[in-house]
Amino acid sequence: MDFVKIQELVKQIAEKYAYPVPTIKMNTRMVITTGKCWPQRHIIELSKKYCDFAADKDIEDLIKHEIAHMKHPNHGWGFKVACMEMGVSHGFRDSHSETDGYSEYIGKHAKVKYECPNCGKISSTLRPYKKIHSCGKCCPGVFNSIYELKRVK
């Protein structure tokens, strides 16, 4: 989505849901972080690489997610309710990193890949993990050495 279209969409959404219209900055270096919000300054920064790649619907969800941060700086309940009111799809209410579009996007930019020895799921990342990780699909939320990811690339 190009910058003009993004700005129009941001204005539309902010006005519709009674938020101040933020200033949008496109960040050409940001890759992993797709959006950032400075609530006091009414500034939202978006990853240009992500906006060049992602589907319109995902960009709309990202914009709504960042707009909700203007009233709710963290991802608490107030934030989630604000997102639901704007019709943000589920994955974007906590963090965009849980959506399929995001995994695909990171996969495209990934330099490092890990494989789960149990289910064979490949995880892509930009930089090698500092700590050992286990598969999020086989043992979500906890570390288990049985499912320790092996670096394949």
State which of residues 33, 112, 138, 148 lies at the interface with Zn ion (CB under 5 A).
138
Interatomic CA distance for residues 89 and 72, integer angstroms: 18
Query: Is residue 1 near Zn ion by the rule CB under 5 A?
Result: no
State which of residues 116, 123, 125, 149 lies at the interface with Zn ion (CB under 5 A).
116
State which of residues 137, 143, 152, 153 lies at the interface with Zn ion (CB under 5 A).
137
Q: What is the DSSP string of 102-145?
A: HHHHHHHH-SEEEE-TTT--EEEESS--SS--B-TTTSTTS--G
- Cβ nearer to Zn ion, comparing 49 with 65: 65
Q: Cβ of 124: how many Cβ atoms within 10 Å?
A: 17
State which of residues 81, 119, 126, 132 lies at the interface with Zn ion (CB under 5 A).
119
Of the ranges 25-33, 43-51, 100-108, 130-138, which one interacts with Zn ion (CB under 5 A)? 130-138
Q: Beta strand pairing status for 122-125 and 150-151?
A: unpaired
**What does the binding site for Zn ion look like in residue numbers (CB under 5 A)?**
116, 118-119, 121, 135, 137-138
